[in-house]
């Protein structure tokens, strides 16, 4: 808490050092973005540049129009259902489901591309089987983490009540 100070209202506010670091990081980030944007016209042709812009627009639409609303609904549904999970366990569950949804979305695109590919060597992976294994491992790891978190919490709370 060294990097926070009390403001007049009693709330914590960032110090000047924190503001300076944020400013420098923001300026460096903007500079790197500008450098990259200036390199595009020299390295990409007009059709490639247009394709990149369309791809970036689609990525933003998928993120803001699909992933964020579904994540919000999943979190709301988990809280609304009166889940008895600890916040850490709920975060593991939401994070696992979100990672699985994003990977499934990407693999769905690859599966579609595989069905229309003219070259058999272009997309030769067995994406459906790999997706199944991914979900099996993801669910096993998530369930193990949630079990461990909940067990440690219950063990810790039962010790506290017996004293």
Lowest mean pLDDT among 8-22, 34-48, 50-64, 88-102: 8-22
Please tell me which residue, 117 or 54, carries the higher pLDDT value: 54
SS3 120: coil
CB 142 within 8 A of CB 92: yes
pLDDT at 9: 59
Q: Which residue has the higher pLDDT, 121 or 37?
A: 37
Residues with Cβ within 8 Å of residue 103, at least 6 apart in sequence: 131, 134
Tokens (6 digits) for 18: 């924190």
Confirm if 68 and 125 have CB atoms less than 8 A apart: no
Domain boundaries along the sequence of the chain: 1-43, 45-162
Q: Give the per-residue pLDDT at 5.
A: 57
Structure tokens at 46: 């007009």
pLDDT band of residue 163 (cuts 50, 70, 90) is very low
Q: Would the pTM of this model clear 0.75, i.e. be above it? A: no
Q: Greater confidence, 110 or 35?
A: 35
Mean pLDDT of all residues in 101-114: 84
Q: Which two tokens stand for residue 60?
A: 């933003």
DSSP state of 119: -
């Amino acid at each position: 808490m060294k990097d926070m100070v009390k403001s007049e209202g009693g709330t914590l506010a960032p110090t000047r050092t924190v503001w300076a670091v944020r400013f420098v990081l923001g300026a460096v980030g903007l500079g790197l973005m500008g450098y990259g944007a200036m390199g595009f016209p020299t390295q990409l042709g007009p059709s490639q540049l247009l394709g990149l812009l369309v791809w970036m627009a689609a990525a933003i639409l998928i993120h803001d129009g699909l992933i964020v609303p579904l994540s919000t609904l999943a979190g709301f549904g988990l809280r609304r259902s009166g889940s008895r999970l600890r916040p850490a366990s709920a975060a593991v569950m939401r994070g696992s489901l979100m990672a699985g949804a994003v990977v499934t979305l990407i693999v769905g695109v690859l599966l579609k591309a595989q069905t229309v590919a003219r070259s058999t060597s272009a997309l030769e992976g067995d994406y459906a089987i790999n997706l199944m294994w991914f979900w099996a491992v993801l669910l096993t790891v998530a369930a193990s983490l949630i079990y461990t978190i909940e067990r440690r919490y219950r063990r810790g709370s039962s010790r506290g009540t017996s004293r």
